[in-house]
Structure 1
């Protein structure tokens, strides 16, 4: 998972800004964000992003682009939105022999992931995580403490504060890709 990332590793969170917050994503040499909404790249830079790539800018699969950009593939990838096609792309963006792809996003009910066995027998690792590996009972107090001491950024993810009577606007912002997280007040 995220705790095995070391300084100098090439990291790619797919899609931003759901990732990029932990200390492990803040120390690698290169953090490449992938998103179809280029407006997210500027926000991603607040959380350690070093460069952004939009799959729509290329006429080939994003995994091919990333393998070329990184001279063989990434050390770590993180799929954060729950899209099964992105999960596969994240795995195939990993370097053969040691690349690790971690699935963070939750796919819709009934969705299945697939890949060619060759992707795994060449040494790539595909795994998932819930809550970044944190254990709820023992970890929540640590997370709250980190937040209260400004070590864990949370408020920065809130892009809009709306009243309950504006809930349709909140959904419109989300569907248009113009919000990160919206707080709806009662």
Structure 2
């Protein structure tokens, strides 16, 4: 689940924004950032892509994989609408992992693509985004759920792995 995606989808006027996560505690947070629906794969005895296709009729226009799991990457493609659905891989898979799908998924005009750093060009676009954040035009505060000293960095990682934080700022006092 990537909260910034929900915010971006809402700004792009998406009609329905389906959040998928195995942690039900994240649903309220996802709604605050723009998700309209929440699906927990553990609640179903069928593949999540089948659940989403059934929810939407034929699949979604855009799907995003954010965790780096190759099985989820395939599911994201398979829940994209035949004919025009796009699936974007954002998560980074572990070294040596391979991704596969049936050719039918692609010959039905689904598009499988990826992005690095959200498509931002580091040298030319990132400085402008930093300036926007400094002016308050890009809101970062909602993503910072904890601030901790460096000696608590292990606790910060624990919170992240347990799904109890979004971003933690570590200070070096």
Q: TM-score, normalised by structure 2?
A: 0.92
| Distance in structure 2 (CA, Å) of the matches to 1:49 and 1:135 | 27
Deviations 1:151-181 (A, max 9, x none): 3232211111111121221122122111111
Matched, 1:150 2:130: no
Q: What is the CA distance between 1:18 and its match in structure 2?
A: 5.1
Counterpart of 2:19 in structure 1 is 33
Deviations 1:20-71 (A, max 9, x none): 233x443111101001111212112222111111111111110000000000
Counterpart of 1:86 in structure 2 is 72
Task: List runs of 5+ in structure 2 lacking aligned partners.
Answer: none
Q: 1:173 aligns with which of 154, 159, 167?
A: 159
Instruction: Kindly indicate which of the two structures has a greater share of residues assigned to helix.
Output: 2
| Distance in structure 2 (CA, Å) of the matches to 1:84 and 1:166 | 32
Task: State how many pairs are aligned.
Answer: 171
Within 5 Å, which residues of 2 pair with 1:89-104? 89-104=75-90
Considering only aligned residues, what root-mean-square deviation do their CA atoms show, in Å?
A: 1.5
Aligned-partner SS, 1:150: coil
Deviations 1:84-133 (A, max 9, x none): 11111100010111000001111111111111111000110000011221
Q: What is the CA distance between 1:140 and its match in structure 2?
A: 1.1
Q: TM-score, normalised by structure 1?
A: 0.86
More contact order relative to length (CA 8 Å, sep ≥ 6): 1
Contact 1:161 1:184 in 2 (8 A): yes
Task: List runs of 5+ in structure 1 lacking aligned partners.
Answer: 1-14
